[in-house]
């Protein structure tokens, strides 16, 4: 797998270091100028060569999407565009799991995994409101993300506020 190769993890570290401190800006993904969470994640994957940037790669969404809708747009777009597998970090109802499986076309194992099973490069999706509405990249026991008021930063994986929102992680499975 892509991040089983230490050279790819080192490249990820270097790319994320370049993004650190980029201010938060909704619906933007320009290093050192502004990025929201999903644009940050996608642009890092593009720099790694996992994705090719194209129009509509990131869903068109208002800032408060997750407060009024249950459709997991971030999860859906990620699963349809990045080769990989989806896992649970928190229990969900069977109805919700089936809904996500239908949206993404991916089977989700029913067992809930612990954050100790995260690997460098995993994409963590958090649920705030009614849908997955925040994303970050796991690297060396930190979740790298772009936060309003902080920009691209890292928060330790044991942070309780972060852990409460974690619902899924997505393991990129690109063969070299």
Reduce the secondary structure of 35-92 to three states and give it as a string.
ECHHHHHHHHHHHHCCCCCCCCCCCCCCCCHHHHCCCCHHHHHHHHHCCEEEEECCCC
pLDDT for the residue 49: 93
CATH class of 2-172: alpha beta
Which of 29-33, 67-71, 104-108 is most confident? 29-33
Q: By C-alpha distance, which of 56, 17, 14 is closest to 38? A: 56
Q: How confident is the model at residue 175 (pLDDT cuts 50, 70, 90)?
A: low
Q: In what order do the strands lie in the sheet with 142-147?
A: 84-88, 166-172, 123-128, 131-139, 142-147, 151-156
pLDDT for the residue 55: 79
The C-alpha atoms of residue 45 and residue 35 are separated, in whole angstroms, by 14
Tokens of 50: 């996992």
Q: Tens digit of pLDDT for each residue in 1-27? A: 799 999 999 999 999 999 999 999 999
């Amino acid at each position: 797998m892509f991040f089983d190769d230490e050279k790819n993890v080192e490249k990820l570290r270097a790319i994320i270091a370049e993004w650190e401190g980029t201010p938060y800006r909704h619906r933007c993904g320009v290093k050192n100028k502004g990025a929201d969470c999903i644009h940050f994640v996608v642009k890092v994957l593009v720099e790694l060569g996992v994705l090719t940037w194209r129009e509509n790669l990131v869903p068109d969404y208002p800032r408060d999407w997750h407060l009024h809708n249950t459709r997991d747009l971030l999860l859906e777009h990620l699963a349809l565009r990045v080769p990989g597998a989806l896992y649970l970090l928190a229990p969900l109802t069977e109805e919700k799991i089936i809904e996500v499986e239908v949206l993404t076309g991916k089977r989700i194992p029913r067992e809930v995994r612990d954050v100790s099973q995260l690997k460098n490069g995993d994409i963590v999706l958090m649920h705030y409101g009614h849908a997955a509405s925040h994303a970050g990249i796991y690297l060396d026991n930190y979740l790298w993300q772009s936060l309003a008021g902080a920009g691209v930063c890292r928060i330790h994986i044991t942070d309780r506020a972060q852990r409460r929102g974690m619902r899924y992680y997505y393991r990129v499975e690109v063969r070299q």
